[in-house]
Every structure is written in structure tokens, then in C-alpha cells.
């Protein structure tokens, strides 16, 4: 399992790096309005995948490991048919929204087609990992990450226009859609034929979780939709760069979920509740050891990071970045995998349904009162509501007190190590350094010094706060030894 996690983590880390790289290049090649259009494209596509999929791709993690290949083939076929329908619906909705925003006919049509293909092709992201073929999934993810970089950056560098970038995305989505159709065909050409009972079973499992996931995604992105609707494309481009850092948490969490969720489902079916909780605690410790320091560093050095990544014009998005980091920190320790394995989709859906209007109201009021920075406050409020409800429910279902749901004292020490590391960096930055203050080279050198100081301080503090055994538990003796955390 550890090899699978590391393989997917490496590829997903590369994919996340490309999500940084591509906007970094495009912001320097496109106009502010065209860059805003590019960010709008991915806002629509990402929302379409999250909302319209209704949990059907992720449901394969539940059905495929539990059934024989012949029996699970029917669920793979059903997933393919549904995602094709969802893609068509997403295409029409995207076209209507683009027309309402008064985009050009070519842009509206291109975005609509891309969204339709991308929604369908998103099934490919789980098709092999659901079969517990994590290495094959990693290779496939790497292939399309490379293809995306080559097509999009190649078009932008050669033609330097929004239209060429849109065409590159259409080629990417077409290739991924074709690969998805081929993968479904090869896996599900034989096996048990679909029936009304299998469709109903599939829908009953996936719909509650899918609706909850869709509401969760809307809760996290509603601020961007408000900004995209109420402000100009150029202003949305400025605001949206803060969301570029959001995949950091999603990278770690989705990678762990892809490998752990099938195992957790097996434990739940065998009645091993204690083992489920232990696996959840271990996963959260692994996430905390990585995501806490990452978010702390980003929040503390937001201005120079934005200036280096997206030019100095985008450093004004620093307050939004810090708000996003707070939201991601709240969401990083979670028990939704336990609720998912115990089929608590309806409860999660109700929770997000209650939280969504509160998030909308807070984001709208924040945008009216504080402009772009205030629009991000709704996400923090929504995260607090959802986390409180999830932990309370998991505690009731497992009969475990909240104080014992996680290793809170260990998590507090990790957070303390991060805070003290930030203090070290700020202390170093208070000293005069002969590297200048302007220009990309000076910014890169400054960030490099900050990163080295932060990493060194964090490494020392992990030892001083006696967190080395936690590192060993989370990552295993070999990797923790390579990182310098050997324990007896």
C-alpha cells in the first residue's frame, strides 16, 4: 500500500506542479482579460466535474473491490453511460452561462464542448485505481499531465492568444475522452448484463455521496462564482490565483483516499471499526506532517510568492491566499472517509446543504463590504460547520469520544512546530540581506532562503517536540530514515 501511495503521490505532485506552471506562463503571455477567461474555463470545468458526476466515478471504489470482474463490469458500464449524459448536460449549462456573460460565440462554443468532454473523461481518473491498479493509474495520470503541459504551453508560446489556448484544451479533452471510452470498453466488454436492480443499487450508493461532494465543492468555490459573476474577467483572474494553492491539500488527501478508501471499505464490510479508525488517524497524521508546514509557509510568505509566480501585479491577492490557507488547514484533518465507508452520504449531504446558503451569504456580504478579500470568508465559515458536523457524527457512529477520534496532542505539536518555524523565517527576514528586493532573481533568492530556513527549523523542531516516532508511523521506517527521523 505504501508503494501505491508514493507512486500516486509523485505523479499527483507533478500534476499539481503543472497547475502552478501553466498559469505562471500564461499570465505572462496573455492579456489580463484573456487570463481571466482561462481561469473561468477551469472554474466551469472543475465545477461541472464535481457537481454533475454525482459520485459515480468514486462509487467504483466501493463496487469494484468487493465484486468479481464480471460482476463489477456492469457498474463500470453504468458509470460510463451516466458520465456521458452528465457531460452533455454540463456542455449545455456551460454554453448558457457563457452566453449570459456575453462571451464571444467561439469562446462559448469551445468552452461548452470542452466541459462536456472533460466531465465524461473524469471517469478515467479512478478507473484503474478502483481496480487497485495504482501503478497503472499513476502512469496514465502522468501521460495526460505531460500532454496538458505540451499542448497548452505550446499553443500559448507559439500563438499567444486565448483562442489558441482554448483549442489546445479541446485537443486534450478529446484525447482523454477517447482514452476513457477505450478503458471502459476493455474492462467492461464482458460480464453480467445491467439490470434495473443494478442501476438502482448504483444510484442509491453514489447519489447521496455525489450530492454531498457537489455541495462541498460549491461551498468551496461559490466565492469564485460570485467574483466571476460580479466582477470583471481581469479581476477574477487576480482573485483566482489564490485558488492555485488549493490543490496542495487536495493532492495529499485524494492520493491517500485513492489507496486507503478501498481498504477502509473492506474493513467496514468485515466489521473492523477499530482498524478503520486507526487507518484514518494514521492518514491524518501523514497529511498534517506535510500540509501544516506547507500552508504555514505559503500564508507567511504570500506576497513574495505571488509576485514571483504571477508577477508583482498579483501580490494584492495575498489576503485571499491567507484566508484560503486557513480554510484548508481546517479541512485537512477529516473523518469523511469513515462516514463514506459507513454509508453516511445522506447525512453529509444534509450538512453541506445547510452550510451552503450560509457560505453564500457570508461571501456575498464580505465581497460587498471588503471587496475581493472579503469574498473568501464564506469558505472558512463553511469549513468550520462541516467539520464540526462530521466529527460529531463519526463519534456517535463509532461510539468514540471526540477527544479520542484523533491524536489531537500530536497534531497540536505539529502545528506548534509550524508556528515556531514561521517565527524563525520572519526573524531571518528582519535582518538585512544583500540580495536586493526587486526582480525575479532577487525574489527567487529570497524565497529560497525563506524555504531553507523554514525547512531546517521545522526539521529541528520535529525532533525537539518528539515527533520523530509519528513520522515513522506515518511514512514507514525507510522513508523516515531518509528524512533523518530514525527512531529506535
What's the confidence (pLDDT) of residue 268? 67
Confidence of residue 294 (pLDDT cuts 50, 70, 90): very high
Statement: residue 257 has pLDDT above 70: no
Q: Are 98 and 107 in contact (CB under 8 A)?
A: yes
How many whole angstroms separate alpha carbon 122 and alpha carbon 295?
A: 28
Chain centroid offset of residue 219 CA: 14
Distance CA 172, CA 174 (A): 5
Please report the pLDDT score of residue 289 as a whole number.
92
Residue-wise pLDDT tens digits, 405-427:
899 999 999 999 999 999 999 99
Contact assessment for residue 140 and residue 179, using Cβ atoms and an 8 Å cutoff: yes
What is the per-residue pLDDT for 34?
A: 92
> Is pLDDT above 90 for 87?
yes
Distance (Å, whole) CA 6 – CA 10: 6
Q: Name the band, by pLDDT with cuts 50, 70 and 90, for residue 88.
A: very high
Nearest-angstrom CA–CA distance, 308 and 315: 9
CB 306 within 8 A of CB 440: no
Residues 175, 156: Cα–Cα separation, whole Å: 19
Between CA 264 and CA 455, with CA 254 as vertex, the angle to 5 degrees is 115
Please provide residue 161's backbone torsions phi and psi, each rounded to the nearest 5 degrees. -135, 155
Among residues 251, 227, 255, the alpha carbon closest in space to that of 241 is found at 227
Give residue 390's pLDDT. 92
Mean pLDDT of the chain: 86
Q: Is the per-residue pLDDT at 261 higher than 70?
A: no
Position 488 pLDDT exceeds 60:
no
- pLDDT of 96 above 70: yes
CA distances from 444 to 24, 308, 421, 428, 437 (A): 14, 7, 20, 16, 10
The whole-number pLDDT of residue 437 equals 56
Residue 467, SS3 per DSSP: coil
Residue 153 has pLDDT above 90, yes or no: yes
Average pLDDT of span 182-203: 78
Q: What are the distances in angstroms from CA 1 to CA 5, 6, 263, 318? A: 6, 9, 9, 38
Q: Cell 463553511 belongs to which residue?
A: 382
pTM, to two decimals? 0.80
- State residue 483's pLDDT score: 78
Neighbours of 32 (CB within 10 A): 16
**Residue 109 · residue 93 · CB < 8 Å:** no
Res 253 pLDDT > 80: no
DSSP letter for 466, please. T
Q: What is residue 251's predicted lDDT score, i.e. its pLDDT?
A: 67
Mean pLDDT on 41-54: 94
Find the range with the poorest average confidence among 76-80, 269-273, 343-347.
269-273
Q: DSSP per residue over 367-378, as a string? A: HHHHTTGGGGHH
**How many C-beta atoms lie closer than 10 Å to residue 257's C-beta?**
20
Instruction: Give the pLDDT confidence score for residue 168 in this predicted structure.
Output: 97
Least confident interval from 21-30, 109-118, 311-320: 311-320
Q: Give how far Cα 455 sits from Cα of 26, 54, 290, 346, Å.
A: 30, 40, 11, 42
Amino acid at each position: 500500500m505504501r508503494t501505491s501511495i508514493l507512486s500516486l503521490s509523485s505523479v499527483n505532485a507533478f500534476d499539481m506542479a503543472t497547475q502552478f506552471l501553466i498559469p505562471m506562463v500564461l499570465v505572462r503571455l496573455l492579456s489580463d482579460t484573456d487570463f481571466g477567461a482561462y481561469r473561468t474555463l477551469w472554474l466551469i470545468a472543475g465545477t461541472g466535474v464535481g457537481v454533475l458526476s454525482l459520485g459515480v466515478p468514486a462509487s467504483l471504489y466501493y463496487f469494484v473491490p468487493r465484486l468479481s470482474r464480471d460482476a463489477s463490469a456492469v457498474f463500470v458500464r453504468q458509470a460510463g453511460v451516466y458520465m456521458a449524459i452528465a457531460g452533455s448536460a454540463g456542455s449545455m449549462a456551460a454554453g448558457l452561462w457563457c452566453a449570459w456573460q456575453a462571451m464571444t460565440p467561439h469562446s462559448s462554443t469551445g468552452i461548452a464542448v470542452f466541459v462536456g468532454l472533460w466531465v465524461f473523461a473524469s471517469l478515467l481518473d479512478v478507473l484503474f485505481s478502483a481496480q487497485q491498479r495504482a501503478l497503472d493509474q499513476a502512469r496514465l495520470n502522468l501521460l495526460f499531465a505531460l500532454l496538458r503541459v505540451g499542448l497548452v504551453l505550446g499553443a500559448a508560446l507559439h500563438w499567444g492568444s486565448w483562442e489558441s489556448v482554448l483549442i489546445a484544451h479541446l485537443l486534450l479533452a478529446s484525447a482523454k475522452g477517447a482514452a476513457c471510452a477505450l478503458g471502459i470498453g476493455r474492462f467492461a466488454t464482458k460480464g453480467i448484463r445491467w439490470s434495473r436492480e443494478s442501476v438502482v443499487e448504483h444510484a442509491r450508493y453514489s447519489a447521496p455521496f455525489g450530492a454531498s461532494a457537489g455541495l462541498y465543492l460549491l461551498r468551496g468555490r461559490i466565492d469564485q462564482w460570485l467574483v466571476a459573476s460580479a466582477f470583471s474577467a481581469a479581476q477574477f483572474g487576480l482573485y483566482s490565483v489564490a485558488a492555485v494553492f488549493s490543490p496542495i491539500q487536495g493532492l495529499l488527501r485524494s492520493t491517500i483516499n485513492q489507496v486507503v478508501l478501498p481498504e477502509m471499505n473492506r474493513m467496514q464490510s468485515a466489521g473492523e471499526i477499530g482498524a478503520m479508525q486507526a487507518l484514518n488517524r494514521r492518514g491524518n497524521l501523514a497529511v498534517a506532517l506535510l500540509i501544516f508546514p506547507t500552508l504555514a509557509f505559503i500564508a507567511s510568505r504570500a506576497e513574495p510568492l505571488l509576485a514571483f509566480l504571477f508577477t508583482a501585479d498579483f501580490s494584492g491577492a495575498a489576503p485571499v491566499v491567507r484566508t484560503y490557507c486557513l480554510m484548508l488547514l481546517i479541512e485537512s484533518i477529516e473523518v469523511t472517509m469513515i462516514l463514506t465507508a459507513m454509508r453516511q452520504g445522506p447525512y453529509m449531504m444534509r450538512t453541506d446543504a445547510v452550510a451552503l446558503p450560509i457560505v453564500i451569504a457570508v461571501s456575498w456580504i464580505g465581497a460587498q463590504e471588503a471587496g475581493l478579500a472579503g469574498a473568501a470568508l464564506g469558505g472558512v465559515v463553511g469549513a468550520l460547520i462541516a467539520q464540526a458536523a462530521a466529527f460529531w457524527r463519526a463519534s456517535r457512529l463509532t461510539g468514540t469520544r471526540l477527544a479520542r477520534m484523533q491524536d489531537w496532542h500530536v497534531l497540536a505539536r505539529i502545528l506548534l512546530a509550524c508556528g515556531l518555524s514561521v517565527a524563525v523565517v520572519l526573524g531571518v527576514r528582519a535582518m538585512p540581506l544583500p540580495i536586493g528586493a526587486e526582480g525575479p532573481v532577487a525574489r527567487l533568492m529570497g524565497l529560497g532562503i525563506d524555504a531553507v530556513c523554514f525547512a531546517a527549523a521545522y526539521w529541528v523542531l520535529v525532533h525537539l517536540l518528539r515527533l520523530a516516532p509519528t513520522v515513522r508511523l506515518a511514512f514507514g521506517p525507510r522513508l523516515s530514515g531518509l528524512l533523518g527521523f530514525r527512531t529506535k
